[in-house]
Chains A and B, each alone.
Chain A
Protein backbone atom coordinates (compact mmCIF):
# COMPACT_ATOMS: atom_id res chain seq x y z
CA UNK A 1 0.00 0.00 0.00
CA UNK A 2 1.42 3.32 -1.07
CA UNK A 3 -0.39 5.43 1.49
CA UNK A 4 -1.93 4.59 4.84
CA UNK A 5 -5.70 4.96 4.66
CA UNK A 6 -7.02 7.45 7.17
CA UNK A 7 -10.02 6.85 9.38
CA UNK A 8 -12.00 10.07 9.71
CA UNK A 9 -14.03 10.44 12.88
CA UNK A 10 -16.43 13.33 13.34
CA UNK A 11 -17.82 13.79 16.85
CA UNK A 12 -18.87 17.39 17.25
CA UNK A 13 -19.32 18.69 20.78
CA UNK A 14 -23.00 18.86 21.74
CA UNK A 15 -24.19 16.75 18.79
CA UNK A 16 -25.40 13.23 19.72
CA UNK A 17 -23.77 11.67 16.68
CA UNK A 18 -20.55 10.01 15.50
CA UNK A 19 -19.67 9.78 11.82
CA UNK A 20 -16.82 7.53 10.73
CA UNK A 21 -15.53 7.27 7.17
CA UNK A 22 -12.83 5.03 5.78
CA UNK A 23 -11.81 3.97 2.31
CA UNK A 24 -10.85 0.37 1.49
CA UNK A 25 -8.89 -0.95 -1.49
CA UNK A 26 -11.50 -3.53 -2.44
CA UNK A 27 -14.73 -3.69 -4.43
CA UNK A 28 -17.97 -2.71 -2.80
CA UNK A 29 -19.58 -6.15 -2.70
CA UNK A 30 -16.53 -7.65 -1.01
CA UNK A 31 -16.38 -4.94 1.66
CA UNK A 32 -20.12 -5.34 2.27
CA UNK A 33 -19.59 -9.08 2.68
CA UNK A 34 -16.86 -8.43 5.23
CA UNK A 35 -19.34 -6.32 7.21
CA UNK A 36 -22.27 -8.75 7.00
CA UNK A 37 -20.90 -12.30 6.84
CA UNK A 38 -20.28 -13.32 10.49
CA UNK A 39 -17.40 -15.63 9.45
CA UNK A 40 -15.61 -12.61 7.99
CA UNK A 41 -16.73 -10.00 10.53
CA UNK A 42 -15.21 -12.02 13.36
CA UNK A 43 -11.82 -11.80 11.66
CA UNK A 44 -11.47 -8.02 11.85
CA UNK A 45 -13.86 -6.29 14.25
CA UNK A 46 -12.14 -5.07 17.39
CA UNK A 47 -8.48 -4.99 18.43
CA UNK A 48 -6.49 -8.22 18.27
CA UNK A 49 -6.21 -8.17 22.04
CA UNK A 50 -9.95 -8.81 22.44
CA UNK A 51 -11.42 -12.21 21.51
CA UNK A 52 -14.53 -11.73 19.43
CA UNK A 53 -17.45 -14.17 19.45
CA UNK A 54 -20.41 -13.64 17.15
CA UNK A 55 -23.45 -15.37 18.58
CA UNK A 56 -25.68 -14.42 15.66
CA UNK A 57 -25.82 -11.92 12.84
CA UNK A 58 -29.10 -12.10 10.90
CA UNK A 59 -28.79 -9.48 8.19
CA UNK A 60 -32.46 -9.05 7.23
CA UNK A 61 -35.37 -6.87 8.30
CA UNK A 62 -36.02 -7.65 11.97
CA UNK A 63 -32.98 -9.92 12.18
CA UNK A 64 -31.01 -9.78 15.39
CA UNK A 65 -27.33 -9.67 16.06
CA UNK A 66 -25.17 -10.20 19.14
CA UNK A 67 -21.46 -10.35 19.74
CA UNK A 68 -19.12 -10.46 22.71
CA UNK A 69 -15.66 -9.04 23.18
CA UNK A 70 -13.58 -10.88 25.76
CA UNK A 71 -10.52 -9.19 27.21
CA UNK A 72 -7.29 -10.96 28.15
CA UNK A 73 -8.31 -10.91 31.83
CA UNK A 74 -11.59 -12.67 31.00
CA UNK A 75 -13.94 -9.69 31.33
CA UNK A 76 -16.65 -9.75 28.68
CA UNK A 77 -18.61 -7.01 26.96
CA UNK A 78 -21.78 -7.98 25.08
CA UNK A 79 -23.42 -5.95 22.33
CA UNK A 80 -26.65 -6.60 20.49
CA UNK A 81 -29.31 -5.09 18.26
CA UNK A 82 -31.74 -5.43 15.39
CA UNK A 83 -31.44 -4.84 11.64
CA UNK A 84 -34.05 -2.66 9.95
CA UNK A 85 -35.30 -2.29 6.39
CA UNK A 86 -33.81 -4.15 3.44
CA UNK A 87 -30.11 -4.38 4.15
CA UNK A 88 -27.92 -3.54 1.17
CA UNK A 89 -24.64 -1.74 0.44
CA UNK A 90 -26.73 1.38 -0.13
CA UNK A 91 -28.24 1.20 3.33
CA UNK A 92 -27.33 -1.06 6.26
CA UNK A 93 -29.31 0.02 9.33
CA UNK A 94 -29.18 -1.50 12.79
CA UNK A 95 -29.72 -0.64 16.41
CA UNK A 96 -26.76 -0.95 18.75
CA UNK A 97 -26.87 -1.56 22.49
CA UNK A 98 -24.02 -2.20 24.88
CA UNK A 99 -25.21 -4.68 27.51
CA UNK A 100 -23.22 -2.83 30.16
CA UNK A 101 -25.51 0.16 29.62
CA UNK A 102 -28.97 -1.31 28.91
CA UNK A 103 -31.56 1.07 27.49
CA UNK A 104 -28.95 3.35 25.91
CA UNK A 105 -29.58 2.41 22.30
CA UNK A 106 -28.02 4.02 19.25
CA UNK A 107 -29.03 3.78 15.59
CA UNK A 108 -26.29 3.05 13.07
CA UNK A 109 -26.47 3.50 9.31
CA UNK A 110 -23.65 2.23 7.11
CA UNK A 111 -23.28 2.97 3.39
CA UNK A 112 -20.77 1.54 0.94
CA UNK A 113 -19.86 3.81 -1.98
CA UNK A 114 -17.87 2.70 -5.02
CA UNK A 115 -15.01 5.06 -5.86
CA UNK A 116 -13.09 3.76 -8.88
CA UNK A 117 -13.03 0.19 -7.65
CA UNK A 118 -12.32 1.25 -4.07
CA UNK A 119 -15.02 1.48 -1.44
CA UNK A 120 -15.78 4.36 0.90
CA UNK A 121 -17.63 3.16 3.99
CA UNK A 122 -19.52 5.80 5.92
CA UNK A 123 -21.03 4.92 9.31
CA UNK A 124 -23.40 7.32 11.03
CA UNK A 125 -24.31 6.54 14.66
CA UNK A 126 -27.07 8.56 16.29
CA UNK A 127 -27.49 8.49 20.08
CA UNK A 128 -30.39 9.25 22.40
CA UNK A 129 -28.40 12.00 24.10
CA UNK A 130 -25.09 13.81 23.90
CA UNK A 131 -24.13 12.06 27.16
CA UNK A 132 -24.66 8.67 25.50
CA UNK A 133 -22.52 9.72 22.55
CA UNK A 134 -19.78 10.99 24.89
CA UNK A 135 -19.93 7.76 26.93
CA UNK A 136 -19.38 5.74 23.76
CA UNK A 137 -16.30 7.78 22.84
CA UNK A 138 -14.85 7.67 26.33
CA UNK A 139 -15.37 3.97 26.73
CA UNK A 140 -12.95 3.47 23.84
CA UNK A 141 -14.93 0.31 23.24
CA UNK A 142 -12.70 -1.45 25.73
CA UNK A 143 -13.83 -3.27 28.80
CA UNK A 144 -12.04 -2.71 32.05
CA UNK A 145 -9.78 0.10 33.15
CA UNK A 146 -6.13 -0.21 32.32
CA UNK A 147 -4.08 1.01 35.25
CA UNK A 148 -1.02 1.50 33.08
CA UNK A 149 -3.05 3.67 30.72
CA UNK A 150 -4.12 5.89 33.64
CA UNK A 151 -0.52 6.46 34.77
CA UNK A 152 0.36 7.23 31.19
CA UNK A 153 -2.44 9.78 30.98
CA UNK A 154 -1.07 11.53 34.08
CA UNK A 155 2.41 11.72 32.65
CA UNK A 156 1.17 12.96 29.31
CA UNK A 157 -0.99 15.62 30.97
CA UNK A 158 2.12 16.91 32.79
CA UNK A 159 4.19 16.95 29.61
CA UNK A 160 1.54 18.68 27.53
CA UNK A 161 1.00 21.29 30.26
CA UNK A 162 4.74 21.97 30.33
CA UNK A 163 4.85 23.00 26.67
Chain B
Protein backbone atom coordinates (compact mmCIF):
# COMPACT_ATOMS: atom_id res chain seq x y z
CA UNK B 1 0.00 0.00 0.00
CA UNK B 2 1.44 3.43 -0.92
CA UNK B 3 2.29 5.83 1.91
CA UNK B 4 -0.55 8.05 0.73
CA UNK B 5 -3.12 5.30 1.00
CA UNK B 6 -1.86 4.17 4.38
CA UNK B 7 -2.12 7.78 5.58
CA UNK B 8 -5.60 8.02 4.06
CA UNK B 9 -6.63 4.86 5.94
CA UNK B 10 -5.39 6.17 9.28
CA UNK B 11 -6.94 9.59 8.65
CA UNK B 12 -10.25 7.95 7.75
CA UNK B 13 -10.15 5.88 10.93
CA UNK B 14 -9.31 8.89 13.10
CA UNK B 15 -12.98 9.96 13.18
CA UNK B 16 -15.35 8.19 15.66
CA UNK B 17 -18.37 8.48 13.34
CA UNK B 18 -16.47 6.82 10.53
CA UNK B 19 -15.27 4.05 12.86
CA UNK B 20 -18.88 3.48 13.91
CA UNK B 21 -19.94 3.35 10.25
CA UNK B 22 -17.31 0.69 9.57
CA UNK B 23 -18.44 -1.31 12.62
CA UNK B 24 -22.02 -1.22 11.29
CA UNK B 25 -20.87 -2.28 7.80
CA UNK B 26 -19.00 -5.20 9.36
CA UNK B 27 -22.49 -6.64 9.95
CA UNK B 28 -23.49 -6.20 6.30
CA UNK B 29 -24.01 -3.66 3.53
CA UNK B 30 -26.18 -0.62 4.23
CA UNK B 31 -27.53 2.45 2.48
CA UNK B 32 -27.03 6.07 3.59
CA UNK B 33 -30.32 6.29 5.51
CA UNK B 34 -29.54 3.13 7.48
CA UNK B 35 -26.05 4.39 8.30
CA UNK B 36 -27.32 7.83 9.38
CA UNK B 37 -30.03 6.40 11.65
CA UNK B 38 -27.97 5.95 14.86
CA UNK B 39 -26.45 9.45 14.69
CA UNK B 40 -27.70 12.97 15.22
CA UNK B 41 -25.96 13.75 11.95
CA UNK B 42 -27.59 14.61 8.62
CA UNK B 43 -27.46 12.26 5.65
CA UNK B 44 -25.28 14.66 3.65
CA UNK B 45 -22.80 14.62 6.54
CA UNK B 46 -22.84 10.82 6.47
CA UNK B 47 -22.30 10.96 2.71
CA UNK B 48 -19.22 13.11 3.26
CA UNK B 49 -17.87 10.52 5.69
CA UNK B 50 -18.59 7.78 3.16
CA UNK B 51 -16.60 9.67 0.52
CA UNK B 52 -13.59 9.78 2.86
CA UNK B 53 -13.92 6.06 3.57
CA UNK B 54 -14.27 5.28 -0.13
CA UNK B 55 -11.20 7.33 -1.05
CA UNK B 56 -9.22 5.42 1.57
CA UNK B 57 -10.40 2.16 -0.01
CA UNK B 58 -12.13 1.09 3.21
CA UNK B 59 -15.57 0.83 1.58
CA UNK B 60 -16.89 0.26 -1.90
CA UNK B 61 -20.26 1.48 -3.08
CA UNK B 62 -22.77 0.12 -5.56
CA UNK B 63 -26.31 0.82 -6.67
CA UNK B 64 -29.14 -1.59 -5.99
CA UNK B 65 -32.36 -0.21 -7.52
CA UNK B 66 -32.67 3.33 -6.04
CA UNK B 67 -30.37 2.65 -3.10
CA UNK B 68 -26.66 3.27 -2.91
CA UNK B 69 -25.11 0.56 -0.77
CA UNK B 70 -21.81 0.76 1.07
CA UNK B 71 -19.72 -2.36 1.55
CA UNK B 72 -16.81 -2.85 3.97
CA UNK B 73 -13.51 -3.63 2.24
CA UNK B 74 -11.28 -5.59 4.61
CA UNK B 75 -8.03 -5.59 2.65
CA UNK B 76 -6.85 -2.04 3.42
CA UNK B 77 -7.68 -2.66 7.08
CA UNK B 78 -5.70 -5.87 7.09
CA UNK B 79 -2.78 -4.14 5.39
CA UNK B 80 -2.89 -1.26 7.88
CA UNK B 81 -2.57 -3.66 10.80
CA UNK B 82 0.01 -5.98 9.32
CA UNK B 83 3.34 -6.55 10.82
CA UNK B 84 4.96 -4.57 8.04
CA UNK B 85 2.67 -1.54 8.10
CA UNK B 86 4.73 0.82 10.22
CA UNK B 87 8.04 -0.32 8.77
CA UNK B 88 6.62 0.16 5.28
CA UNK B 89 5.25 3.59 6.25
CA UNK B 90 8.74 4.70 7.38
CA UNK B 91 10.26 3.81 4.00
CA UNK B 92 7.31 4.94 1.88
CA UNK B 93 7.45 8.37 3.46
CA UNK B 94 11.24 8.58 3.22
CA UNK B 95 11.19 7.58 -0.45
CA UNK B 96 8.38 10.03 -1.23
CA UNK B 97 10.56 12.75 0.29
CA UNK B 98 13.50 11.50 -1.77
CA UNK B 99 11.34 11.66 -4.94
CA UNK B 100 10.65 15.34 -4.20
CA UNK B 101 14.32 16.10 -3.43
CA UNK B 102 15.50 14.39 -6.64
CA UNK B 103 12.93 16.36 -8.69
CA UNK B 104 14.10 19.59 -7.06
CA UNK B 105 17.78 18.81 -7.72
CA UNK B 106 17.06 17.94 -11.35
CA UNK B 107 15.04 21.14 -11.84
CA UNK B 108 17.88 23.18 -10.34
CA UNK B 109 20.32 21.37 -12.65
CA UNK B 110 18.14 22.12 -15.72
CA UNK B 111 17.88 25.76 -14.75
CA UNK B 112 21.65 25.89 -14.24
CA UNK B 113 22.25 24.20 -17.62
CA UNK B 114 19.93 26.70 -19.33
CA UNK B 115 21.71 29.59 -17.61
CA UNK B 116 25.10 28.21 -18.69
CA UNK B 117 23.82 27.92 -22.29
CA UNK B 118 22.54 31.50 -22.17
CA UNK B 119 25.85 32.76 -20.72
CA UNK B 120 27.70 30.97 -23.54
CA UNK B 121 25.44 32.60 -26.14
CA UNK B 122 25.95 36.01 -24.54
CA UNK B 123 29.72 35.54 -24.56
CA UNK B 124 29.60 34.48 -28.21
CA UNK B 125 27.47 37.51 -29.10
CA UNK B 126 29.96 39.78 -27.32
CA UNK B 127 32.98 38.36 -29.09
CA UNK B 128 31.10 38.47 -32.43
CA UNK B 129 30.40 42.17 -31.79
CA UNK B 130 34.03 42.88 -30.95
CA UNK B 131 35.22 41.00 -34.02
CA UNK B 132 32.69 42.73 -36.30
Interface window among B20-28, B32-40, B44-52, B114-122? B20-28
Are B87 and A141 closer than 8 Å at their CB atoms?
A: yes
A34-B102, A137-B84 given; A47·B89 CB < 8 A: yes
Tell me if B126 counts as interface (CB < 8 A to partner A): no
A residues 144-163 touching B (CB-CB < 8 Å): 152-153, 155-160, 162-163
Are A140 and B90 closer than 8 Å at their CB atoms?
A: yes
A residues 105-156 touching B (CB-CB < 8 Å): 136-142, 152-153, 155-156
A26-B106, A159-B22, A163-B74 given; A44·B94 CB < 8 A: yes
Are B87 and A152 closer than 8 Å at their CB atoms?
A: no
Chain B: which residue is nearest A152 at the CB level?
A: B13
A residues 42-101 touching B (CB-CB < 8 Å): 43-48
Q: Which residues of A contact B77 (CB under 8 A)?
A: 156, 159-160
* Residue in A20, A31, A156 with the greatest tally of chain B CB atoms within 10 Å: A156
Q: Count residues of A near B (Cβ-Cβ below 8 Å).
A: 39
Tell me if A2 counts as interface (CB < 8 A to partner B): no
Residues of B at under 8 Å CB distance from A? 2, 4, 10, 13, 19, 22-23, 26-27, 72, 74, 77-78, 80-81, 83-95, 97-103, 105-106
Q: Can you list 15 A-B contacts with CB-CB less than 8 angstroms, sorted by A residue number?
A: A4-B2, A5-B99, A7-B95, A9-B88, A24-B99, A47-B90, A138-B83, A142-B90, A152-B13, A156-B81, A159-B72, A162-B23, A162-B27, A163-B26, A163-B74
